[in-house]
């Protein structure tokens, strides 16, 4: 059976609401580490982290450089830094130039996640007002990972989901709730021991 | 073996070639970001494989010069993290004021935005005249830009906003002169700055500093190189000297952790213990 090792999410304008919904669905024993790039103001305070921690059964934090990626955690790219994943499954941060006018950029995270997790990766694009993440999602799909896009008709801002779909990177187009349920189901299934 | 694994070999060989041919050591850089830079550079050159660049970099020095520029420029802005500069003003300057002269090292100054921010801050505090500021980088074209102090005028709006958030209450316009679509930093700000080439990965200790700023440089290094550089900083600081890192960098888990006291956790300002 296919075994996923991590979830990466890209989200921009309108992200607070849909992330609150999605993250609050994940149960305490959800085993896949979740890594999120949300476009925020560069000097954003850590209010959003406290907000998500209140709503989510998992531990939510900004990723620190060289921090080991662990199960049971939801990591956000710190505002004004790109977030990358190293071979030993720890985080790197960079101040490199913006990609798609964005730092952090969804594409940067997704590309480096593919380098490390290959096909064992679930990529998700939610609401947003630019096309960051379209390339990265397609890359995940091409490498055999699972790719989900929030239904543009439901998204607060449809541009980012639409761009991801247009680039041909979507395995499935779902509502936020369906995405949450699918994640829980997949995780449960791969946690259940298989007797043969 | 997958293409991805083959590419990893290619990148290792490429960085080894650069090191042995030119002495620039990128082998202890954080792998994920150096891989991004190699790929971006590859795309610009028109080659399709990283290994194709090896003979080119070995025999073509100007190819290497372009590579260094691409590999090392970090994008920065004036008064990046205004809150940090506010803290420098309020927590570090009162100490510096007590010394007859002040030596400061801005390590990894890139194109100079930060060192000019510091010069402005020191001018306003009346400390600049008794200061010597060393701004170093291993990237010569970036150093040249830093020395010129010319920036696109479109960035000035952000610079001004940051300056104000950093506690600046004068007119930011007095620090630059605008011409066409550029601004040049005022000559006065350059007076006490010495720009010099220094490579943190290979070069040695740098004078007896009262303050060292090295923000968002260590994030590009692996743990081993981070420790090398941090020891270098420790040995280059006077007792009670200050070390400022990027807001996402830390001495925690480093070799010099016990040699410093954290005095501003949010802005990562450390003071060397006596």
Query: What's the ipTM?
Result: 0.90
- Give the distance, in angstroms, between the CA of residue B214 and the centroid of all CA atoms in the same chain: 6
Q: What are phi and psi of B229, to 5 degrees?
A: -65, -40
* Gap between the Cα atoms of A66 and A88, Å rounded: 10
Q: Which chain A positions have a beta carbon within 8 Å of B216's beta carbon?
A: 95
A115 close contact with B: CB closer than 8 A? yes
In a domain, A4, yes or no: no
pLDDT tens digit string along A69-114? Answer: 999 999 999 999 999 999 999 999 999 999 999 999 999 999 999 9
A positions 135-174 inside 8 Å of B (CB)? none
Tell me how many domains chain A contains.
1
The CATH architecture one would assign to domain B82-272 is: 3-Layer(aba) Sandwich (3.40)
The answer to whether the beta carbons of residues B260 and B243 sit under 8 Å apart is: yes
CATH of the domain at A22: 3.40.50.180
Predicted confidence (pLDDT) at residue B58 exceeds the cutoff of 60: yes
Nearest to B32 among A84, A97, A98 (CB): A84
pLDDT band for B75, please (50, 70, 90 cuts): confident
pLDDT at B214: 97
From its phi and psi, is residue B149 left (phi > 0), alpha (psi between -120 and 50) or beta?
left
* Residue carrying structure tokens 């194109």: B111
Query: Of all residues in chain A, what percent carry a pLDDT higher than 90?
Result: 89
Predicted confidence (pLDDT) at residue B198 exceeds the cutoff of 80: yes
Domain ranges of chain B: 3-72, 82-272
pLDDT at A35: 98
Task: Look up residue B74 and give its two tokens.
Answer: 């970090």
Q: Which chain B positions have a beta carbon within 8 Å of A111's beta carbon?
A: 36
Distance from CA of B129 to the nearest CA of A (A): 32
pLDDT at A194: 62
Q: What are phi and psi of B79, to 5 degrees?
A: 55, 40
A69 close contact with B: CB closer than 8 A? no
pLDDT band for A195, please (50, 70, 90 cuts): low
Nearest to B248 among A65, A87, A108 (CB): A65
Mean pLDDT of B223-235: 96
pLDDT at A191: 82
Q: What are phi and psi of B205, to 5 degrees?
A: -65, 150
pLDDT at B10: 98
Mean pLDDT of A159-181: 97
Task: Look up residue B20 and give its two tokens.
Answer: 């042995």
3-class SS of residue B106: strand
In a domain, A195, yes or no: no
Predicted confidence (pLDDT) at residue B7 exceeds the cutoff of 60: yes
Predicted confidence (pLDDT) at residue B166 exceeds the cutoff of 90: yes
Q: Smallest Cα–Cα separation from A9: which of A125, A168, A107?
A: A125
Q: Which residue has the higher pLDDT, B85 or B2?
A: B85
Nearest to B249 among A65, A108, A115 (CB): A65
Domain boundaries, position A98 = 14-190
Q: Which chain A positions have a beta carbon within 8 Å of B33's beta carbon?
A: 82, 84, 92, 94, 96
Strands (E), A28-89: 34-38, 59-62, 73-76, 82-85
Predicted confidence (pLDDT) at residue B158 exceeds the cutoff of 70: yes
- Encode A44-55: b = buried (16+ Cβ within 10 Å), e = exposed: eeeebbeebbee
In a domain, A54, yes or no: yes
């Amino acid at each position: 059976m296919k075994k996923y090792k991590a979830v990466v999410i890209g989200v921009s304008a309108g992200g607070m609401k849909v992330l609150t919904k999605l993250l609050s669905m994940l149960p305490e024993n959800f085993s896949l580490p979740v890594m999120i790039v949300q476009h925020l103001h560069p000097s954003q305070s850590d209010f959003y982290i406290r907000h998500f921690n209140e709503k989510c059964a998992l531990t939510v934090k900004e990723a620190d450089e060289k921090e080991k990626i662990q199960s049971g955690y939801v990591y956000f790219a710190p505002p004004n830094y790109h977030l990358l994943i190293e071979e030993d499954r720890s985080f790197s941060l960079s101040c490199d130039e913006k990609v798609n006018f964005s730092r952090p950029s969804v594409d940067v995270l997704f590309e480096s996640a593919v380098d490390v997790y290959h096909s064992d990766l679930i990529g998700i694009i939610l609401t947003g007002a630019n096309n960051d993440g379209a390339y990265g999602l397609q890359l995940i799909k091409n490498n055999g990972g699972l790719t989900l896009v929030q239904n543009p008709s439901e998204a607060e801002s449809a541009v980012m989901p639409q761009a991801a779909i247009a680039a041909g990177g979507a395995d499935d187009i779902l509502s936020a709730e369906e995405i949450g349920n699918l994640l829980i189901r997949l995780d449960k299934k791969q946690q259940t021991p298989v007797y043969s | 073996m997958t293409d991805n694994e083959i590419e990893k070999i290619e990148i290792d060989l490429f960085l080894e070639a650069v090191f042995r041919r030119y002495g620039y050591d990128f082998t202890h850089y954080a792998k994920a970001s150096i891989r991004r830079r190699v790929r971006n550079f590859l795309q610009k050159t028109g080659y399709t494989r990283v290994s194709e660049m090896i003979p080119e970099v070995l025999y073509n020095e100007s190819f290497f010069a372009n590579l260094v520029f691409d590999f090392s420029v970090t994008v920065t802005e004036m008064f990046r993290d205004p809150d940090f500069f506010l803290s420098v003003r309020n927590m570090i300057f009162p100490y510096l004021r007590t010394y007859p002269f002040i030596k400061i090292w801005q390590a990894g100054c890139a194109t100079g935005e930060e060192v000019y921010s510091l010069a402005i801050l020191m001018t306003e505090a009346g400390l600049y005249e008794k200061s010597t500021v060393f701004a170093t980088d291993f990237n010569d074209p970036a150093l040249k830009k830093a020395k010129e102090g010319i920036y696109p005028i479109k960035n000035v709006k952000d610079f001004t906003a940051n300056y104000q958030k950093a506690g600046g209450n004068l007119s930011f316009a007095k620090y630059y002169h605008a011409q066409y679509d550029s601004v040049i930093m005022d000559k006065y700000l350059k007076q006490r700055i010495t720009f010099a080439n220094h490579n943190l990965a290979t070069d040695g200790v740098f004078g007896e500093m009262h303050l060292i700023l090295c923000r968002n440089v260590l994030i590009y290094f692996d743990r081993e190189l981070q420790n090398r550089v941090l020891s270098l900083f420790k040995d280059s600081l006077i007792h009670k000297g200050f070390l400022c890192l990027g807001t996402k960098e830390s001495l925690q888990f480093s070799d010099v952790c016990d040699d410093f006291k954290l005095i501003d956790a949010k802005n990562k300002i450390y003071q060397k213990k006596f």
